[in-house]
Structure 1
Amino acid sequence: MQAPAQKNSDDPTAALLQTEPAARTIGGEEGMNVDEMLTRFAGEFGPWQLRQFLLTSLAWILCAFQVMAVVFADRESARPVPCPVGIRLGRAWWLARSTVEEWGLTCGEKYKVGLAQSAFFVGSMAGAAFFGHVSDSFLGRKGVLTLTCFLLTVFSLLTAFSPSFFIYSFLRFLSGLSTGGVGLSAFVLATEPVGPSFRAAAAMSTFHFFSIGSISLSFTSLLLPSWRLLYVATSLPSLLFLLLALPFISESPRWHLVHRNLPAAMQIIRAVAKTNGYSIPDRAILVHDADPTRPVRTASIVDVMRSHVTRPRLILGFLINFLISVSYYGLTLNVANLGPEIHASAILNAVAEMPAYALTAVALRWHGRRPMAVTSMWLCGFFCFAAGAFVKAARMGCAAVAIFAVAATYNLMYVCTAELFPTEVRNAALGCVTLAGQMGAVAAPVVVAVGGKWGYGVFGGCAVVAGGLGLRLPETRKQPLYETMAGLEGGEKGKGEAG
């Protein structure tokens, strides 16, 4: 844990803090923003933030269960399946290994397998957009996480009782809708209370839990080969998270501050300081970074598009996330198809991504977000092109390096997006770029199915173009995390005048 320190010429965070509006004296009290309060008095990453980080990041395991369930539930059967009726199971309908077996999704019905997968990602798109806005407005981050975890429990359990393929696809859509809200809320709750020196590393580290979830689901599928029992199993962790983890998760103090609930925000900050072993002097108070006379109004994605500062950021983030998602999901599906054993392939794929998250989390403390993102995108593109040119072992090796690079980029864009937008629209902006990512996820299986070895060229081209667009993104390292649109625009204007 880094000890808070008073601001002085030797403090390495002084440059960061000076980019925010200077601390203001109000009636003998010293007003400051959340980042400055954490750095000087409460601790940037201590026991309180560690507990919040671990508890909220567990939600990514739930997301992994839902995203990866289709890999096992909709897998091709190892035994002949009559089409279009499927294997007649009678009273043993709970024992079907996959939807393909039970509903005869072979021959001319094979396209339906992709339809169910697309339905889930379409739901994720809608959920990211809707719940992103709701969590920035009246319901809050914790409220959305609570609601979506409950819905995820219900829809995942109902999926296990699907009487037909179309009901199954509809319930997968609803599960995707819930998953889109779970991931966004958990990410923001885990990172917003962390100080600026550790925020990027904490953000990248959340994605280890997604890999853990993928590995856990692979072993669960080995124990429960029935696709219906597998969906029952995926509903239980959401229920346990609701009962055992959520009561100990705190709402973001930044969200309370944006909604002018200063007592609640200060109560959380004082709890952070107490748990971390520090105390906040009575003279120190949190202040809003906007004009206090401005009426309280909920900002939305419309405000993001109206602003000359945030509009290009959102458009670039949308395009980059779409392109990177095509590469990420396309490479993931291709690697799974290379292995003869689906469980081993899924486990190895998840394990291969974890070093990328770890190395990126460490490197972010010393290197900028933009050069790291651009470099990893172009590295992915180069090895995708190489994979298309080689065969067998050489192709597998190049594809593995490409996945390593694109995994780092895919999750680094979450960090960049969170830092590019202020608190009052952060989840809405994350929801918008996540929607773009889900669009890429829907497109990737089509490229895999029809592209063959030329698919690597498509994935490489997407990564290279995304890297070029990434050069246009502003650098966010050592920049303040603003609370409002007005604060961000004022800060950017100040930098322009200083320049």
Structure 2
Amino acid sequence: MSGVGEILKAVGDFGPFQKRLVLLTLFPCLSVAFHQFCQLFMVSNVPHYCDTSWILAVCPNLTEEEQLNLTLPRDADGEYVRCSMYSPVDWDLDSIVVYGLNTTEKCRSGWVYPSAPPPSLLTEFDLVCDRKDLNDISQSIYMVGMLLGSIIFGPLSDRIGRRPVILISIFLQGLFGVGIAFVPHFYVYMAFRCVVGASVSGITMTILALATEWVGVSSRPKAVLTSHCCFAIGQMLLAGLSYGIRNWRLLEIAGSAPIFAFFFCVRVLPESARWLVTKGRLEEAKKILQKAASINKSTIPPGLLEQLKPEKQTKSGSTLDLFGKKHLRKVTLIMSCAWFVNSLVYYGLSLNVTSFGLDIYLTQLAFGAVEIPARLGCIVMLQWFGRKKTQSVLLLLSGLVCLIITGIPEDQPVVTTVLAVIGKFTASASFSTSYVYSAELFPTVVRQTGVGLCSMASRVAAIMAPLIRLLGQYHQAIPMAIYGSAPVVGGLLCVLLPETRGTELVWENTNSSSENGHVKGKDGGQDETKTTYF
């Protein structure tokens, strides 16, 4: 009996059909990068103070400077206090001038933005003073959407197919992305962002699954690495787009609407032949395999398609199996911690792009550009130094960089930004290492479950990263200290893991083989020893 893997070898591992598929999936990666970080450029820090127009009813002829002098208190530096005002009184102007106002209160009538900045989330929804925390909370709500998307769209793609889930996710992203530009309230904005976050998870997970199931094992690293680099390019494009479009609503439309162009290529997007076979839809699978062979200018041997039968699915392990044996329990806990702290430092640095002191557009451009050599260099580091050393050292470096940043004075923005770029480099390379290392550490029967659990830990950290920034109101060094200390601990824990470079992947966890780190395929299958991918 022939399997779909054998037929795919005859079709070609990475021919024109697969290359076209990979190129087709790159466009959504640009959109994903936009939605991931666009809010950073929609909440610009602008001067503001309480609206004290009540005094104009007493004397309409006051100049702006006179109005502010009479109604706003000053801080120790002589600047107007931004979040409090003198309480209104029923006095005439002469009494106010003679006796002055002494009782202060929070802004009761909103805020004024004297510099007349372009429309932003901050100015339209007054994300200042007591409402400034809503900015970071909304970032966490977006990450919650990503977690929900991974929970919803993962099983859905196994039920209805990869292609429909990709199209549904792209439609939701375009619809709610454009819809964000027309929201009347900030809470509606957060709800729409949550849906966009869910669609981002649906796109990234399902595109990865589709590419993995079509591309041969030897070419999977190239395919997935290409998408990672495209995500980095998307971050660079975001810097240019946000620099040219300062109105947040127009920026949201410009970043969301182009995704609808993907539907013009909908006929080119194939379904996964492997998924079709597992569902017993053999005729559809045969047609698409023949089409792929035709595009690749290859020939499927006569009779090979006729031997195609529904593949017998191996029973996968459960989450409980990950904690049933000592070695697997150690691997699961340490790798989940590694993914958690890696995500924490990655998003901690990425979401602090506005706090490093230099121009945020140049900083974002550098953050995107540095990810490309980080992803590419990861391959070299894995081959030279192995998985364990690479994972440990990269996590330690990313953490140490953040800890050093906490000691840099505020008047040294260049030094802070350079260190942040180095931290982003090590965090990005560490993320790619985690994908490879996790796939090699977990046995086949629980590999998807194990990697899925690690990914969920990563999502939880992404939710927490914006909330940790709120601790900066107590001391500005606290968030960066947390972002730095967590990966240091994770890097030290990774020293306890076995090395997997040059070893075969394990099918089932056996104490004799896995405890010392020499994992070997039980059935000796050739495909099984090559399924490592980024």
Do residues 74 (structure 1) and 92 (structure 2) align? no
Match of 1:462 in 2: 486
Equivalent residues in 2 for 1:415-426 (5 A)?
A: 415-416=436-437
Distance change (3 Å), C-alpha of 1:247 and 1:263: same
Provide the rounded CA distance (Å) in 1 between the counterparts of 2:444 and 2:27.
23
Say whether the 8 Å CA contact 1:33–1:289 is kept in structure 2.
no
Higher helix residue share:
1
Distance change (3 Å), C-alpha of 1:215 and 1:361: same
Q: CA RMSD in A?
A: 3.9
Provide the rounded CA distance (Å) in 1 between the counterparts of 2:276 and 2:324.
23
Say whether the 8 Å CA contact 2:440–2:500 is kept in structure 1.
no
Say whether the 8 Å CA contact 2:150–2:201 is kept in structure 1.
yes
Say whether the 8 Å CA contact 1:374–1:467 is kept in structure 2.
yes
Distance apart, 1:58 and its partner CA: 1.8
Equivalent residues in 2 for 1:51-130 (5 A)?
A: 51-77=20-46, 82=51, 85-86=110-111, 97-130=119-152
SS of the residue corresponding to residue 207 of structure 1 reads helix
SS of the residue corresponding to residue 214 of structure 2 reads coil
Provide the rounded CA distance (Å) in 2 between the counterparts of 1:187 and 1:170.
26
Match of 1:48 in 2: 17
Provide the rounded CA distance (Å) in 2 between the counterparts of 1:492 and 1:476.
14
Say whether the 8 Å CA contact 1:376–1:406 is kept in structure 2.
yes
Distance change (3 Å), C-alpha of 1:472 and 1:346: same
Distance apart, 1:156 and its partner CA: 1.4
Distance apart, 1:53 and its partner CA: 0.9
Distance change (3 Å), C-alpha of 1:182 and 1:474: farther
Provide the rounded CA distance (Å) in 2 between the counterparts of 1:428 and 1:76.
43
Distance change (3 Å), C-alpha of 1:312 and 1:269: farther
Do residues 323 (structure 1) and 344 (structure 2) align? no
| Selected match of 1:166 from 178, 187, 208 | 187
Match of 1:15 in 2: none
**Letter of the 1:463 counterpart:** P
Say whether the 8 Å CA contact 2:147–2:459 is kept in structure 1.
yes
Task: Write out per-residue CA displacement over residues 464-483 of structure 1, whole angstroms, 9 at most, x where no aligned residue.
Answer: 3333454537748775799x
Provide the rounded CA distance (Å) in 1 between the counterparts of 2:143 and 2:270.
29
Q: Which moved more, 1:471-480 or 1:436-445?
A: 471-480
Provide the rounded CA distance (Å) in 2 between the counterparts of 1:52 and 1:220.
27
Provide the rounded CA distance (Å) in 2 between the counterparts of 1:382 and 1:140.
43
Structure 2: runs of 5 or more not aligned: 52-106, 508-519, 526-534
Provide the rounded CA distance (Å) in 2 between the counterparts of 1:345 and 1:216.
12
Match of 1:223 in 2: 244
SS of the residue corresponding to residue 302 of structure 2 reads coil
Equivalent residues in 2 for 1:78-477 (5 A)?
A: 82=51, 85-86=110-111, 97-136=119-158, 138-241=159-262, 243-284=263-304, 291=312, 316-361=334-379, 369-388=387-406, 392=412, 393-416=414-437, 432-450=453-471, 452-453=476-477, 455-470=479-494, 472=497, 475=500
**Letter of the 1:228 counterpart:** R
Distance apart, 1:408 and its partner CA: 1.3
Query: How much identity, in percent, do the aligned residues show?
Result: 29
Provide the rounded CA distance (Å) in 2 between the counterparts of 1:278 and 1:481.
33
Distance apart, 1:106 and its partner CA: 0.9
Task: Write out per-residue CA displacement over residues 417-439 of structure 1, whole angstroms, 9 at most, x where no aligned residue.
Answer: 56777999987766544332222
Provide the rounded CA distance (Å) in 2 between the counterparts of 1:181 and 1:284.
34
Distance change (3 Å), C-alpha of 1:158 and 1:334: closer
Say whether the 8 Å CA contact 1:32–1:287 is kept in structure 2.
yes
Distance apart, 1:203 and its partner CA: 1.6
Say whether the 8 Å CA contact 1:214–1:350 is kept in structure 2.
yes
Say whether the 8 Å CA contact 1:124–1:179 is kept in structure 2.
yes
Say whether the 8 Å CA contact 2:318–2:449 is kept in structure 1.
yes
Provide the rounded CA distance (Å) in 1 between the counterparts of 2:450 and 2:377.
26
Distance apart, 1:56 and its partner CA: 1.1
Say whether the 8 Å CA contact 2:322–2:446 is kept in structure 1.
no
Provide the rounded CA distance (Å) in 1 between the counterparts of 2:178 and 2:444.
34
Flag the structure with larger Rg.
2
Task: Write out per-residue CA displacement over residues 367-414 of structure 1, whole angstroms, 9 at most, x where no aligned residue.
Answer: 755554344223323434444455535554333222111111223434
Equivalent residues in 2 for 1:30-49 (5 A)?
A: 31-32=2-3, 34=5, 37-38=7-8, 40-49=9-18
TM-score (norm 2): 0.72
SS of the residue corresponding to residue 240 of structure 1 reads helix
Distance apart, 1:171 and its partner CA: 1.5
Provide the rounded CA distance (Å) in 2 between the counterparts of 1:464 and 1:67.
25
Provide the rounded CA distance (Å) in 2 between the counterparts of 1:260 and 1:421.
29
Count of aligned pairs between the two proteins: 448
Say whether the 8 Å CA contact 1:43–1:273 is kept in structure 2.
yes
Match of 1:8 in 2: none
Say whether the 8 Å CA contact 1:193–1:253 is kept in structure 2.
yes
TM-score (norm 1): 0.76
Provide the rounded CA distance (Å) in 1 between the counterparts of 2:367 and 2:286.
43
Distance change (3 Å), C-alpha of 1:227 and 1:426: farther
> Whose relative contact order is higher, 1 or 2, with alpha carbons under 8 Å and at least 6 apart?
1
Distance apart, 1:328 and its partner CA: 0.6
Match of 1:23 in 2: none
Say whether the 8 Å CA contact 1:145–1:182 is kept in structure 2.
yes
Say whether the 8 Å CA contact 2:399–2:483 is kept in structure 1.
yes
Provide the rounded CA distance (Å) in 1 between the counterparts of 2:167 and 2:447.
19
